Amino acid sequence: MRQFSGFPAKMQFTPIPNLFFSSLLPQITDMAELKVTLYIFWAVYRKRGYPRFITYRELLNDASLLSAIKETERSPEESLRQALNTAAERGTILYLSLANKVVPEDIYFLNTESDRQAVARIQSGEIVLDGLEIAARPAGTVAELPDIFTLYEQNIGMLTPMIAEELRAAEKLYPTEWLKEAVKEAVALNKRNWRYIARILERWATEGKGDGTYRRDSKTDPDKYIKGPYGHMVRR
């Protein structure tokens, strides 16, 4: 371990509310969530203008942050997404999905009174961010999310564009009932993340579900999960 040389006599400080230490810190058990949360305090404080926020792209492009949350089981991007999802679900940060020239752009605010008002004004159209707008739904789509998306949001956490894409792929790969039951199993075991749910589905696809057999009533060929267009998601 490289020893820190100490703080200099003159330096800048990042203000963090006392409530963070008394209320939030005791609840945070994931180191990646803690590091990302503290980073957002620092990054947002350095911003100028109104409203102040940080984009997912900015977070993803910071090599120091990604190095700090690097894990053996998850890629830095997965760790970042999970940390942001957990912090948003906890209520530490606020999240908006916008679009930059039709490209999705997730932005994050601190959950302060000022930023809550700013988010509401952005959603109502009162504040327009330069180059960004509320992400519009594709033509022909309905307002309500499909059941699996609702199930995920109600039981696992915030639905991000990346998770939505994974769910759509999984819907084409696995029976809908499997998806629902995998979510329920993850909740029962307090493993509320998509990676764990995907592993449940992979296990059922390769080893069989429940009594060790595949769905007999559906006449489903188990090899379709391996040979199909999304077979890369399943490991033998």
CATH of the domain at 88: 1.10.10.10
Residues 23 and 124 in one domain: yes
Q: 10 lies in a domain?
A: no
Q: 153 lies in a domain?
A: yes
Task: Report the pLDDT value the prediction gives residue 128, as an integer from 0 to 100.
Answer: 87
Task: Report the pLDDT value the prediction gives residue 67, as an integer from 0 to 100.
Answer: 93
Task: Report the pLDDT value the prediction gives residue 135, as an integer from 0 to 100.
Answer: 59
Phi, psi of 48 (to 5 degrees): -125, 155
Q: What's the rounded mean pLDDT across residues 168-190?
A: 87
Q: Where is the domain boundary, 78, 102, 134?
A: 134
Do 145 and 176 meet the contact criterion of CB atoms below 8 Å apart? no
Task: Report the pLDDT value the prediction gives residue 159, as an integer from 0 to 100.
Answer: 67
Residue 92 in this model has a pLDDT that exceeds 70: yes
Query: Residue 143 and residue 162: Cα distance in Å, rounded?
Result: 19
Q: What's the rounded mean pLDDT across residues 53-82?
A: 90
Q: Where is the domain boundary, 134, 164, 199?
A: 134
Q: 168 lies in a domain?
A: yes
Residue 102 in this model has a pLDDT that exceeds 50: yes
Q: 9 lies in a domain?
A: no
Which residues lie closer than 8 Å to 16 by C-beta, 6 or more apart? 38, 41
Residue 139 in this model has a pLDDT that exceeds 50: no
Q: What's the rounded mean pLDDT across residues 78-100?
A: 90
Residue 236 in this model has a pLDDT that exceeds 90: no
User: What share of the chain has pLDDT > 90, as a percent?
Assistant: 38
Q: Which domain holds residue 39?
A: 18-134
Residues 30 and 65 in one domain: yes
- Looking at per-residue confidence, does 71 or 112 come out higher? 112
The tally of domains found in the chain comes to 2
Residues 38 and 93 in one domain: yes
Residues 30 and 93 in one domain: yes
Task: Report the pLDDT value the prediction gives residue 99, as an integer from 0 to 100.
Answer: 79
Residues 112 and 152 in one domain: no
Q: What's the rounded mean pLDDT across residues 10-17?
A: 91
Query: Residue 180 and residue 120: Cα distance in Å, rounded?
Result: 33
User: What share of the chain has pLDDT > 70, as a percent?
Assistant: 80
Q: 6 lies in a domain?
A: no
- Looking at per-residue confidence, does 234 or 191 come out higher? 191
* Cα–Cα nearest to 60, from 93, 96, 105: 105
- Looking at per-residue confidence, does 133 or 197 come out higher? 197
Task: Report the pLDDT value the prediction gives residue 63, as an integer from 0 to 100.
Answer: 94
Q: 98 lies in a domain?
A: yes
In the sheet with 93-100, reading across from the earlier edge strand, the strands are: 54-55, 103-110, 93-100, 133-134
Q: 11 lies in a domain?
A: no
Cis peptide upstream of residue 17 (ω within 30 degrees of 0):
no
Residue 54 in this model has a pLDDT that exceeds 90: yes
Task: Encode pLDDT of 24-45 as tens digits.
Answer: 999 999 999 999 999 999 999 9
Task: Report the pLDDT value the prediction gives residue 210, as an integer from 0 to 100.
Answer: 63
Q: 8 lies in a domain?
A: no
